[in-house]
Amino acid sequence: MKRYWGFVIKEFYHIFRDFRTLLILFGIPVAQVLIFGFVVSNEIRNIKISILDYSHDEVTEKITNKIISSGYFELYSHLTDYSQIEPAFRTGNVKEVIIFEPGFSSKLGKTGDAALRIVSDASDANTGRLITSYTQGIVMNYLQELMGQNTSVPFTIDTRTRMYFNQGMKGVYMFVPGTMAMILMLISALMTSISITREKEMGTMEVLLVSPLRPIQIILGKVSPYIVMAFINAIMILILGNFVFKLPINGSLVLLLLETILYITLALSLGIFISTVAKNQQMAMFISMLVLMLPTILLSGFIFPIENMPEILQWLSAIMPPRWFIIILKNIMIKGTGILFIWKETLILMGMTSIFIGLSVKRFKIRLE
């Protein structure tokens, strides 16, 4: 036990004496959460639009006002001719143009049929699709109000939507769990694999292996400081999410922290496994970044919905530990569910952990041959 503590103290010296390590451990997580929370967002707010109104009547005024006062859009300019649309998009100032046909209100009054055209800049496909559907929504809404006054319409279907678990459709609900899964993976796997391969490179690993320390003691000694560090990080992210982004923790905090420790252990065992494969620090870093980071971001369902992926990638995503952790996090934090709803994911994480620990132990022995 005393030997173990000596080892842990030594490991903390390594961490605290290296500015880069400290930066990776504490600077990057905070920056990531803030960046993802504030910048990367798929919410629509203050989108600049132009209006091309050939009609200029009471109804087009009303619709225009309704769109602008919605908060999603901001009036940039009034156009006077169709030919101005493309130049407006080219400058990049305007994302959407709304065109009312001549005689809009009179046509609407007489035939009940008037044309409103929505043209959007789809160079950013997601935003393009989102803002057109928002605009359509607002116009439909206006139409319903209109029909409400006009009782001559025999029946209407009143659709009312409610977004469960995330009424405000806030992006942070998605990004905080994702960032947490990503950062814990980065710190745990990357830092442990680097610190173990560093000992190999320096030749100190040999000396440790010649000493009476057992391999398991060496690994535990190296890994446990990073468990503490990663856990502190997890708490930091939760606090940031809660206070800065108002992300609730609806479920049990104890369960949440236990699942976090399980995930950290998984990431650490992955880090140990990487260090048994990698010959030096560069290679460990390369494997961690390329094999862990990118798939975590792309395939875990963190940013892109898994349901939309081709089937092969869906299968690939199933072997990404973060995918399951993100489901667990969302369940506990946002839906407030208990272990009954996430036991399957928990078991998957446990299974993955034991596989990586088993593989690492096997590889560690082979290395001694």
Partner 1 sequence: MESKENIIVVKDLVKKFGNFVANDHLSFEVKRGEIFGFLGANGAGKTTAIRILCGLSFPTSGEISVAGYDAYKEREAIKRNIGYMSQKFSLYDDLTISENIKFYAGIYGLAPKIIKSRTAELLSRMGLEDIHNRLIRDVPLGWKQKLAFSVAIFHNPSIVFLDEPTGGVDPITRRQFWELINEAAAAGITVFVTTHYMDEAEYCDRVSIMVDGKIAALDTPEQLKKIYKTKEMNGVFLTLARGAKNN
- Interface positions with partner 1 (CB under 8 A): 2-3, 6-7, 9-10, 13-14, 17-18, 202-204, 206-213, 368-369
Nearest residue (CB) to partner 1, 312 versus 368: 368
Other CB atoms within a 10 A radius of the CB of residue 244 amount to 14
Q: How far apart are CA 87 and CA 91, in angstroms?
A: 6
What's the min distance (Å) between Cβ of 212 and partner 1?
A: 5
Q: Name the one residue in this structure whose structure tokens are 């905070």.
A: 30
Give CA–CA dist 53/338, Å, rounded: 54
Nearer to partner 1, 157 or 368 (CB): 368
Q: How far is the CB of 208 from partner 1 (least distance, A)?
A: 7
Place of tokens 């949440």: 256
Closest contact distance (angstroms) between CB of 216 and partner 1 is 13
Q: How far is the CB of 193 from partner 1 (least distance, A)?
A: 18
Left (φ > 0), alpha (ψ -120 to 50) or beta: where does 76 sit? alpha
What's the closest the beta carbon of residue 268 comes to partner 1, in angstroms?
Answer: 21
Q: Looking at beta carbons only, is 5 or 315 nearer to partner 1?
A: 5
Nearest to 228 by CA among 3, 12, 14, 4: 12
Q: Which is nearer to partner 1, 65 or 282 (CB)?
A: 282
Task: Report yes or no: 195 and 14 within 8 Å, Cβ to Cβ.
Answer: yes
DSSP string, 140-206: HHHHHHHHHH-TTS----------SS-TT--THHHHHHHHHHHHHHIIIIIHHHHHHHHHHHHTHHH
Minimum Å distance from CB 131 to partner 1? 53
Give start and end residues of each alpha helix (H) in the chain: 2-17, 19-22, 28-38, 58-69, 85-91, 104-111, 125-149, 172-185, 191-202, 204-210, 215-243, 253-277, 281-287, 294-299, 311-318, 321-330, 339-368
Residue where the block lists tokens 């006009």: 150
Identify which of residues 28 and 208 has a Cβ nearer to partner 1 in the complex. Answer: 208
Q: Look up residue 262 and give its amino acid.
A: L
96 neighbors 130 (Cβ within 8 angstroms): no
**Min dist. Cβ of residue 369 to partner 1 (A):** 6
**Nearer Cβ to partner 1, position 154 or 203?**
203
> Please, which residue, 221 or 321, has the CB nearer to partner 1?
221
Q: Do residues 269 and 222 lie in contact, with contact meaning Cβ atoms separated by under 8 Å?
A: no
Q: Smaller CB distance to partner 1: residue 178 or 221? A: 221
Which CB atom, from 200 or from 330, has the smaller least distance to partner 1?
200
Shortest CB 186 distance to partner 1, Å = 22
Q: Shortest approach of partner 1 to residue 17 CB, angstroms?
A: 5
Distance, CA of 311 to CA of 317 (rounded, Å): 10
**How far is the C-alpha of 329 from the C-alpha of 183, rounded, in Å?**
14
Query: Is 5 in a helix, a strand, or coil?
Result: helix
What is the closest distance, in whole angstroms, from the C-beta atom of residue 199 to partner 1 in the complex? 9
Nearer to partner 1 (CB atom), residue 125 or residue 366: 366
